[in-house]
Chain A
Amino acid sequence: MSYPNDRRYASSHEWVKLEGDVATIGITQHAQDQLGDVVHVELPAVGKAVAAGEGMAEVESVKAVSDIYAPVAGVVVEVNGALDGNEGMINSDPHGAGWMVRLRVADPGAVAGLLDAAAYAASL
């Protein structure tokens, strides 16, 4: 299983891709595999401020529900509306079209403190 090098990873199985001060967040290939078929996603309201480590979204599969934590602090600027009715994109393309939330981060430097691809893959 390969994890792209253009982003960082949280031990709670989210990925974070930083562009300027906007971080795109989704769940990892490993997380979607563990969860199974995703059938429902709860996304936060745009404008909501979230703290690092705070639950900001929920991903629900047929068998289980999982909280998605903000790996870094920020304000929600966009959520992936395309997931509505197409929740399976989280399974089929977790690192791409299955992204979930974009945050304007307070401290872009905090992202560098997360795991790189090799360290995340080694943690599994």
Chain B
Amino acid sequence: MSAQDSAASALAKSTASADAVADIGEQTRLAARRRERLMSIGSPLGLLLAWELAAQTGFIDVRFFPAPSTIIVALWRMLMSGELIEHILISLQRISLGFLLGGIPAILIGIAMGISRPVHALIDPLITATFPIPKSAILPFILLIFGLGELSKVVMVAIGVFFPIAINTTAGVLQIPPIYRDVGRSFNASHWDTFRTIALPGALPFIMTGIKLGAGLALILIAVAEMVGAKSGIGYMIWSAWETFAVARMYVGLFVIALIGFGVSFLLREIERWVIPWKTDN
């Protein structure tokens, strides 16, 4: 097969797969996939149903495990009163601001460390020394410095996302094959052009991994920070529900925070597909 042919076949792949749908083997495979999808929707539904039944029949203690129907009613009430939306929005705002505050310097510093050996020698020990400190353990310190206002929550998230993004960005720059830098030098690329056309795009898959790790940490930290030092947000909502023994509200909080986590990872997958088009065929 000539080079031209194989590239042409890459082009033709998308049309070929459309034709193959008519294929018998393909159809049974599609049916199997549909069955699998039904099963993966069915298992959580089944669990909810069993839970509901167990609660209704008094098999489990509804003070600790209120029936799903009770939780849904609580969720509906909180939604209607506007209270839930308010908590969600304030938490999302803290997470977003924290992401910007921590993520942008993390990418810049990470790339600088990957490009320049002196910068690496200067900053790497600081990161290595501070990275192992559990971020939740510095919450009192952050509250002391930044007070009980918005800033302390934003800073918590920022610190949390900074480390995985900075570390992954540096690793991402360092794994760029040296030939690409030779190409840049050979075509007289300026420092700015090297950053823009080689270091940043070359490290982008690693940066995205760092951002995904950071997102997980951000959710943990925002919940913890709001439980201790806030009067609003999902974390605060869960904590105050525990304090007033409003167990259904607590479950609503857990459900919502899980939903946020799901939404964030979906969003990041879409962003990844958009900013790294050379990694995926579409």
Task: Tell me whether A and B are bound partners.
Answer: no
